[in-house]
Structure 1
Amino acid sequence: MPFDHNHHYHPTLLKLLPPGPGRALDVGCGDGRFARRLAAAGMTVEGIDVSEEMLRRATAAGSPGPGTVAYRRADVTAEPLEPEAYAFISCLASLHHVPFETVTKFRTALAPGGTLAVLGCARPSRPADFAREIVAVPANVVARLVTAAADRLNGGPDPLPRAPVRMDFPFLDDVRREAVDLLPGSTVRRLVFWRYLLVWQKPADHPAVG
């Protein structure tokens, strides 16, 4: 598929960045495209992923500056994260690869006032969710045609491998329920192209542990 649903939402996620430079963590960074966009916005970025191939591609692409990007291979469920270290943590189409309660690690790793942004994949649960699915089909066809035309003008689609995909998605109502329990005050919004957006801002007076 030439049209990438995750890349489509990069501008939406970038609008959630805190003002000024800061430290960011991109979980499941893949080939580093979003990590590089964070660096272009001035962030000092750490990208972690379990795929050696994706990290090789990410490293080879370098960093656009003015911020920097450093990558490491790690399983986020086992990787220690420095408490209150990050102004921004992103997780693009990767949270369903790990238990949802992994967000508690992100919660602890965020600095007070920091933002967690999850662009996730989930199965519809409510009539409104199914309505979004229906709307997405024709919109996706149009987007694919436009992207395919652009690829032809630019020498063809990217021949390099894509990140591994797991299709075992949770139900969106389960995501909503667990977000209420583990990230009080968070919002979960269904997006058009088979994604949801979970946003949580850590209160400035949030306890340092937990």
Structure 2
Amino acid sequence: MTTLTVRFFQALDRFHAARPWDHNAHYHRWIMRQLPRRFASALDVGSGTGDLARLLAGRAASVRGLDADPEIVDRARELTPSASRVTFAVGDAPGAIAPGPYDVITCVATLHHLPFAETLAAFRHHLSPGGTLVVVGLARAQSPGDHLLGVAALVMNVVMAWLKHGGRRAARPASMTAATRPATMTFAEIVDEARAVLPGARLRRRLFWRYTLVWHNR
């Protein structure tokens, strides 16, 4: 890597450190568009500070958030009104998933922390007939398509940060304080394993180093 390239990425890191924005929250509205207007129960795995769980509560009779980090679960409880339909629990999926069934299960930027096929099988087991599973996940870049999307994401990342913050510096959102881990599975591996567990699952590469999975338990 040349000195010029190193300096470019260092400048990019400084730019984003001053104007952070949540790539996962960017997909929340898309997630809601995949779901029914009303449903009885929902489970959000890897619920973090509870932003998505609170969105789900606008349509659901009850929502359960599950996260392995006790501190972030405490923060989610602080941010959630006491009269809300949302409850949070500390635990590692898939073993800590409370018995359902759930009409909706969501999982954002968490599946790569978990045993992949086992967790998808647990989601299938806990999903109601007719229910919907929506995953926003991370994959390891390998193919030319992956790298092309990565280049596009670099550009769009700057655009989104500028649209959200302009020249202003911004504090890091509470939702971005969770521990991170790089993905190990490629998108092709994810597609093969997911469709073996969830026949008919729809998977698609997305911007900002994400992929999506939607499955209906018909």
Give the TM-score range, shorter chain.
0.7 to 0.9
Taking the aligned partners of 1:11 and 1:18, their CA distance within structure 2 comes to: 13
Task: Show the counterpart of 1:164.
Answer: 179
Equivalent position to 1:75, from 88, 92, 95: 92
Task: Show the counterpart of 2:69.
Answer: 51
Task: Show the counterpart of 1:177.
Answer: 192
1:71-96 per-residue CA deviation (whole Å, 9 max, x = no partner) reads 0101113225425x111000000000
2:204 is the counterpart of 1:186: no
**What's the TM-score once normalised by structure 2's chain length?**
0.84
Taking the aligned partners of 1:22 and 1:64, their CA distance within structure 2 comes to: 19
Contact 1:36 1:64 in 2 (8 A): no
1:38-63 per-residue CA deviation (whole Å, 9 max, x = no partner) reads 11234511000010111011000114
2:208 is the counterpart of 1:196: no
Query: Where do residues 109-128 of structure 1 align in structure 2 (5 Å cutoff)?
Result: 109-128=126-145
Contact 2:50 2:80 in 1 (8 A): no
Task: Show the counterpart of 2:46.
Answer: 28
Equivalent position to 2:115, from 99, 113, 116: 99
Q: Counterpart of 1:191 in structure 2: which amino acid?
A: R
Taking the aligned partners of 2:57 and 2:166, their CA distance within structure 1 comes to: 29
Taking the aligned partners of 2:181 and 2:113, their CA distance within structure 1 comes to: 7
* Aligned-residue offset at 1:34: 0.7
2:7 is the counterpart of 1:7: no
Task: Show the counterpart of 1:132.
Answer: 149
* Aligned-residue offset at 1:144: 1.6
* Aligned-residue offset at 1:64: 9.2
**Structure 1 alignment gaps of length 5 or more:** 204-210
Q: Counterpart of 1:73 in structure 2: which amino acid?
A: V
1:156-191 per-residue CA deviation (whole Å, 9 max, x = no partner) reads 414757111111431111100001111100011001
* Aligned-residue offset at 1:150: 8.5
Taking the aligned partners of 1:176 and 1:40, their CA distance within structure 2 comes to: 31
Contact 1:40 1:64 in 2 (8 A): no
Would you say how many aligned residue pairs link Structure 1 and Structure 2? 198
Taking the aligned partners of 1:164 and 1:118, their CA distance within structure 2 comes to: 19
Whose Rg is larger?
2
Task: Show the counterpart of 1:208.
Answer: none
Aligned pair in 2 of structure 1 residues 151, 158: CA closer, same or farther (>3 Å)?
Answer: farther
Taking the aligned partners of 2:32 and 2:178, their CA distance within structure 1 comes to: 21
Contact 2:140 2:183 in 1 (8 A): no
In terms of fraction of residues, the more helix-rich structure is 2
SS at match of 2:39: coil
**What's the TM-score once normalised by structure 1's chain length?**
0.87
1:10-51 per-residue CA deviation (whole Å, 9 max, x = no partner) reads 010001112323200000101111111111234511000010
2:106 is the counterpart of 1:90: yes
**Structure 2 alignment gaps of length 5 or more:** 1-16
* Aligned-residue offset at 1:126: 2.9
